[in-house]
Amino acid sequence: EPEVTQTPSHQVTQMGQEVILRCVPISNHLYFYWYRQILGQKVEFLVSFYNNEISEKSEIFDDQFSVERPDGSNFTLKIRSTKLEDSAMYFCASSVRENSNQPQHFGDGTRLSIL
């Protein structure tokens, strides 16, 4: 069964540095998402992306965050100047969205640790 794949599985970065998290969504999916989970807290929505533009974003997704689909397969989340509070598990997801009961399929996540 096709899967959403995320790389790297664990990223350690110095505070203030830029980091790029990568995702390969399922090939026929049209909607792409990023979520994050700070340790011990809920999984929170960050952003959704459709037709090469952001369709929805949360309050968390401020100017330090950006997303891009640089080619036909990858979907990236860039954090420009990382802060300690960006340490979290970041999940990528994708969906077909022929209708809204179609589930979002998640990757294994990238654990981001900011030092």
Partner 1 sequence: AQTVTQSQPEMSVQEAETVTLSCTYDTSESDYYLFWYKQPPSRQMILVIRQEAYKQQNATENRFSVNFQKAAKSFSLKISDSQLGDAAMYFCAYRSAWGGSEKLVFGKGTKLTVNP
- Residue 27 binding partner 1, by CB under 8 A: no
- Residue 107 binding partner 1, by CB under 8 A: yes
How many contiguous H segments (helices) and E segments (strands) does the chain have?
Answer: 0, 11
- Residue 109 binding partner 1, by CB under 8 A: yes
- Residue 60 binding partner 1, by CB under 8 A: no
Write the CB contacts of 88 (distance below 8 Å, at least 6 apart in sequence): 36, 37, 38, 39, 111, 112
- Residue 104 binding partner 1, by CB under 8 A: yes
| Piece in contact with partner 1 (CB under 8 A), picked from 14-22, 66-74, 75-83, 98-106 | 98-106
- Residue 94 binding partner 1, by CB under 8 A: no
Which residue among 17, 55, 64, 73 contacts partner 1 (CB under 8 A)?
55
| Closest to 9 (Cα-Cα) out of 109, 92, 114 | 109
Q: Which is nearer to partner 1, 22 or 31 (CB)?
A: 31
Query: CA-to-CA distance for 20 and 80, rounded, in angstroms?
Result: 9
DSSP 32: E
Handedness of CA 39, 93, 97, 50 (dihedral sign): positive
Positions in the binding site for partner 1 (CB under 8 A)? 3-4, 31, 33, 35, 41-45, 48, 55-56, 58, 91, 95, 97, 100-101, 103-109
